Structures are given as structure tokens and as C-alpha cells.
Copies of this chain bind each other. A is one copy, B any other.
């Protein structure tokens, strides 16, 4: 594999050096190692890191204002459930407050809508929400108890990228059986921590001009240095369908990932295009099954591709 240009590497080093350090790094590393140990027992189980939700970019060091990328986290949550079903152990690296695996069918306001205490001692679930609550509680707890699901939350782009690096390091020995499924909406722009104002930006004196720097492209270093043997899927979201496939194809070549999942904002729940060196495959929900979601077929395809990749790595 070709190494990445020195310039990118410099940018990335300086990004990490100037980042505020992770507060609970030791705890995260301990959780990660414990999870990877338990889930590899018996040998050969595949492990995927699913990233989900948007990253925030603080505009002030004592942060009141920040820039955010829109992402409900629905794709990451649904994909996680499908990976667990396919036998994977999933490290779910998610934005705090976004959609959780097994919780997609809960109403927006579950404590107002799902439950009642008919006699002040026994809680009951309304019949209309029973299946959704059972899934959120039983299926989720089973996945965690069986070391098939580890949930790690982040908020800022600094936390996200530091945690992604920790996960890549921890998964190094899993080699081709590991996968990165990078569904998070990572900001392209940020305000370097050192050039950031400490206090809240003052209002009241005309328009505000903000200059944002580009976030260095971590995908390159993930592929070449952090986890060169892992199977790697990235995502491309656009609002303009005209440029979507072109941009996904560019990303495939530039970052040398194994596939790029291209999705357009307005149709992303019905259809995605998997762009890879094998050509482009359109993936949709099953029209005959009303409960089918696009992730059912997407994860089936990705898992197949991963199987082929593992076989080829061993030969």
C-alpha cells in the first residue's frame, strides 16, 4: 500500500497535538480491550466499528456555540442491528443524543407515550408500543450482555477522531476480520483549538465573520497507518444527486477504501449506491415487505464483500 504524502501526515499530527485531550481515555481503552477480548473468544468472530451521527465543531473554547453536521444516526443504528444479526461484534461510536440501535421504533417521547403505572407499583407498557419497548430493552440488553455491542459516545470532532484512532489501534490484531463502517457525518471544516476565542463570542457589534480550516482527511491515515488490514467502508452524502456518484468515485480512488456508500439526502431511506472497484450497485428496500429497510440489504451486501475480502487475505 502506498504511503500518504508527508504534508497530510503533518496536518494530522498538528491536528491531534492541538486537540483538547480525551477526558476518559483510560476508561475507553479498558472497555475496548475488554470488549475485543470477550467477543473474540472462540476465535474468528468479526468485529465492526460503526460510526454514527454528526460531529460538532466548537467555535469557542468554553463552548457555547458550535457548528454541527446534521445526522439523525438512523443509518448507523439500523446497520448496527443488522451487523449483530449477521454475527458481528459491533463497536458503536455514536454522537450523544442520536438514534440508538434497537430504539428506532420508539416514539419521540417514550416516557410520555409508552408506559403507565396502573396501581402506582407495577409499570405497564401500552399495547401499541409493546414490541418497540421489548426490542429496546431485551434485544439491546442481550447484545450488550453477549459482547456483541459496545456503545461509545462522542460529541466534538476532537473526541470522534481521537476515539476512532484508539479503536483502530485496539483492532490492529483482528486484521482482515475487522471492519470500519464510517457512517458518521464528520465535519469537513473546523476552527483550530489554538486559534479559538476562549470566551463566548460577543454579539451586538455587527455581522460575525468566521474562518474555518479544513479538517485533515483522516481516512487516508486510517487506511495506511492506523488499520491497513481492516475492511473499510466510507459514506458520501450529497443534496445534489448530479454530483453524488462522481464524488463517491473520487473518494473511492483517493482514500483507497473498499467501498463508498453514496446517498442523497432526500432519498437516503429508500436507496443507496455502493460504489466499489467491482462497479456500482444500487441497493433498495424490498418493495414486497413493508417493514424492510435499506440497511437490511445493504449490510447483506457489505458482509458478503467482507467475506470475500477475508478469504482473499488468507490466500
Which residues on A are within 8 Å of B, measured CB to CB?
Answer: 56, 59-60, 62-70, 96-97, 100, 102-103, 106, 108-112, 115-117, 120, 123-125, 133-134, 136-138, 140-141, 144, 151, 153, 185, 187-189, 198-200, 203-204, 206-214, 237-240, 265-266
Contact = CB atoms under 8 A, between A and B. Distances in A.
Contacts of A206: 214
A257 to B, nearest CB: 17
9 contacts: A62-B265, A62-B266, A64-B69, A64-B237, A66-B68, A189-B207, A200-B239, A204-B214, A207-B212
A90 to B, nearest CB: 14
Nearest to A266: B62
Q: How many copies does the complex hold?
A: 2
A226 B283 CA distance: 51
B67 A65 contact: yes
Contacts of A133: 111, 115, 123
Contacts of A111: 100, 102-103, 106, 110, 133, 136-137, 140
Given A65-B70, A208-B212, A209-B211, 14 more contacts: A59-B67, A62-B266, A64-B239, A65-B67, A65-B68, A66-B70, A100-B111, A102-B111, A103-B111, A109-B151, A112-B144, A115-B133, A117-B138, A188-B204
